[in-house]
Amino acid sequence: MGFVESIGRYRVGRTIGAGTFAKVRLAVDADTGATVAVKVIDKRMVIRNNLMYQVKREITAMKLLNHPNIVKIYEVIATKTKICLVMEYVSGGQLSDKLSYLKRLDEKEAKKYFYQLIDAVDYCHRRGVYHRDLKPENLLVDNQGNLKVSDFGLSVLKKPGQFLSTSCGSPCYVAPEVIQHKSYDGAAADVWSCGVILFELLAGYLPFQDCSLTNLYRRISRAQFVFPQWLSVPQKKIIIRILDPSPITRAKISDIFDDKWLQDHCNPSARIENDDDCDVIEEASTDSDSSHNTEVKETEEMTAETDRFINAFQLIARCSDLDLSGLFQEQKTKLASPHPVQETFDKIKVAAKDVSMAVKRMNSSLVEIQDSKLLPRSNLDLTLSAEVIKVTPAHCVVEVSKSTGDLRSYKEFCRSLSSLLNGGQLSASSSDMECD
């Protein structure tokens, strides 16, 4: 493997996978000689697209999980421009690649993969982690032919029984209740995705397909699919139980494990039942303001000098609340506004203009504020967000957060906004309003 650069003690080689905001690269641990995969996330792209919490979720979720059928995360390294997740390397590639040339699997192999998938998903759910994007592209196969669940970018941490509300995942694998934008049970939604995967493994094609997204969603909502003639009655029965459009009557994971078709030729004793090391979900917060906050030292570029990096994963592991805010150096300032919400937003726009910045409305309560100059962004460029929280019809609170950029410019904006809000006094978290 040709090495092109180093990240900490890891010598990094060719790219083996790529997405919108990240690349997965092959690497070797210089200390042990072990081959690993390094997911290199573009920090600026993540911040610009307001995906900081998604990255934090992925790291937190993977930190909680230790299962033979889940890709392990070894270490997190942060630089000025990148976040690098050092993970277990799974040499067999994606299950989707295997399906692309085999079309469908024989019953024995399909059952093995499905059993391992359900076991891993059950393990996640018992720890309050819901994947929400299960599909063959996120399932890897190792050189022993074992399945590994990966890519927890859309995962969420919840107490069992709580309901989720964000629609996400890949359309063909998404449960009816998710596409209907209802509050939903994350466990039931993951089970549905597993059912779609099982159908695809045995049939060689997806149960729900249509060139029109509207028609596709209609088929999913009604569970309209046709079995191929070669599926056996036991196979059809388990799929029908899982692909039930009602999450209430849909098969639970315990029902799936009890199914006779799955029990045949499977080894139930292989399941991971031990909950002794199960982390409590309350300890998995990514938004805590506790004194455990850890600021990750940043470097301009990736180099081989290991003393220029802080192993964020080790710091995370020591923190009882698993706080990850240091990965993005977020700072916050709160301002009282004696104005209604819309007037407050108008004053935010004026304050942004005063410091040559532009405002982009993200939702009803949040705006993103960025440099308005038509120039390449530098390391000093500022990325802010301002959330307006309504207290009374005529009063609200503005929380300004800095994710990246120059501290002085951030303070200048806050002072300008404070002045516009009739000289409201700053209530800053820490002493971040004192100029260096």
> Per the annotation, does 39 bind a ligand?
yes
| Cβ contact 156:165 at 8 Å | no
Query: Which two three-digit tokens encode residue 391?
Result: 């207290």
Q: Which residue among 133, 185, 190, 321 is the active-site one?
A: 133
Number of H helices, E strands in the chain: 13, 18
Q: Distance (Å, rounded) from C-alpha 65 to C-alpha 129?
A: 9
Which amino acid belongs to residue 199? Answer: F
* Residues whose CB is less than 8 angstroms from the CB of residue 233 and which lie 6 or more positions away in sequence, other chains included: none
Q: What are phi and psi of 331, to 5 degrees?
A: -125, 150
Nearest Cα to 262, choosing from 110, 416, 86, 75?
110
Residue ranges in 167-232 assigned as alpha helix (H): 176-179, 186-203, 213-222
Q: Distance (Å, rounded) from C-alpha 117 to C-alpha 128?
A: 17
Q: What are phi and psi of 397, to 5 degrees?
A: -120, 135
| Cβ contact 165:183 at 8 Å | yes
Report the 10 Å Cβ neighbour count for 104.
16
Cα 81–chain centre separation: 19
Nearest Cα to 231, choosing from 211, 207, 212, 208?
207
* Residues whose CB is less than 8 angstroms from the CB of residue 324 and which lie 6 or more positions away in sequence, other chains included: 56, 59, 60, 286, 312, 316
Torsion of CA 379, 58, 31, 310, to 10 degrees: 40
Q: Distance (Å, rounded) from C-alpha 323 to C-alpha 59?
A: 11
Cα 181–chain centre separation: 19
Region of 422 on the Ramachandran plot (φ > 0 left; ψ -120 to 50 alpha; else beta): left
Q: Distance (Å, rounded) from C-alpha 321 to C-alpha 290?
A: 8
- 3-state class of 118 per DSSP? helix
| Cβ contact 385:369 at 8 Å | yes
Q: Distance (Å, rounded) from C-alpha 96 to C-alpha 375?
A: 41
Active site residue 133: yes
Active site residues: 133
Q: Which residues are annotated as a binding site for ATP?
A: 39
Annotated binding site: 39
